[in-house]
Amino acid sequence: MFTPRHSLQIDYRERAGTGPALVLLHGIGSNAESFAGLLPFLPMDWRVIAWNAPGYLGSAPLDTDWPMAADYAQALAGLLDRLDLDRVTLAGHSLGALMATAYAVAHPDRVSRLVLASPALGHGIALGATLSPAAQDRIDELARLGPQEFAKARAPRLVFRPQDNPDLLAAVEAGMAQVTSPGYAQASRMLASGRLLDDAARLAVPTDVIVGVEDVVTPPEGARRLYAAIPAPLRGQLTEVPAAGHALATQAPLAFAQAVAAQNTPVL
């Protein structure tokens, strides 16, 4: 199980261990607890840390209305410094893939492996420009509906066959119902300006990509484009998980855990 912890302005969850360190970065509509289902499938000696990104749950928001991925990477660097973690396996899910890649580009000596799951490529608009309709809709819908109704409206898209997986849907919805502003609005703007393909081309660490075959939020085609953008000598495994949607750690925890533990056997 995860233990709740806090370090200055960052709230995080940790499973203690004496082995290698794994750091997990969640997506835009989620939080650290979305990774709890991975723990039984990860090596038992691993130290596992999942943060609540700035502006999520107990983590303070960033001090700018429109942060870039590099701003989240800087916050992550501060947390890892305080935890005395010099080298980690780093995994980012969805929006967390933008944050994880920005960190790996800035600190290649501190990342042993990078895993990008259900990667959000970003919309690539200029800082301060008019938001893309998708990004503006996220912000407006949360303000209009409130977190609970917002989660009910959006969560079903994250689960493959939600009608057949009510427990998974409930877990995803519960996590999404905890998003609040300004953190969510900041993350939405970062997504709008994100350019994951450009950042991936600058990577200098081994990198794996994993995506659900049935992901309608960040479809497999985007994951394939990302994989192709990674410098060829650093490309690890591209895994496409059958019968899984966007909420990959919830719907396919074994496949996700195999990816981050470098046990990249195909999931049949």
Per-residue pLDDT of the chain (268 residues; tens, 9 = 90+): 999 999 999 999 999 999 999 999 999 999 999 999 999 999 999 999 999 999 999 999 999 999 999 999 999 999 999 999 999 999 999 999 999 999 999 999 999 999 999 999 999 999 999 998 888 999 999 999 999 999 999 999 999 999 999 999 999 999 999 999 999 999 999 999 999 999 999 999 999 999 999 999 999 999 999 999 999 999 999 999 999 999 999 999 999 999 999 743 333 2
Q: Is residue 69 part of a domain?
A: yes
Are 72 and 99 contacting, i.e. CB atoms less than 8 angstroms apart? yes
Judge if pTM exceeds 0.85.
yes
pLDDT in the model for residue 199 = 98
Q: Is residue 207 part of a domain?
A: yes
Q: Whole-angstrom Cα distance, residue 50 to residue 123?
A: 25
Output the domain CATH number for residue 31. 3.40.50.1820
Q: Is residue 81 part of a domain?
A: yes
Are 85 and 15 contacting, i.e. CB atoms less than 8 angstroms apart? no
pLDDT in the model for residue 107 = 98
Q: Is residue 228 part of a domain?
A: yes
Q: Is residue 254 part of a domain?
A: yes
Q: Is residue 266 part of a domain?
A: no
pLDDT in the model for residue 264 = 39
Domain count across the chain: 1
Are 53 and 187 contacting, i.e. CB atoms less than 8 angstroms apart? yes
Are 207 and 115 contacting, i.e. CB atoms less than 8 angstroms apart? yes
Structural domain for 175, as ranges = 3-260
The residue among 157, 125, 120, 126 whose CA lies nearest residue 141 is 157
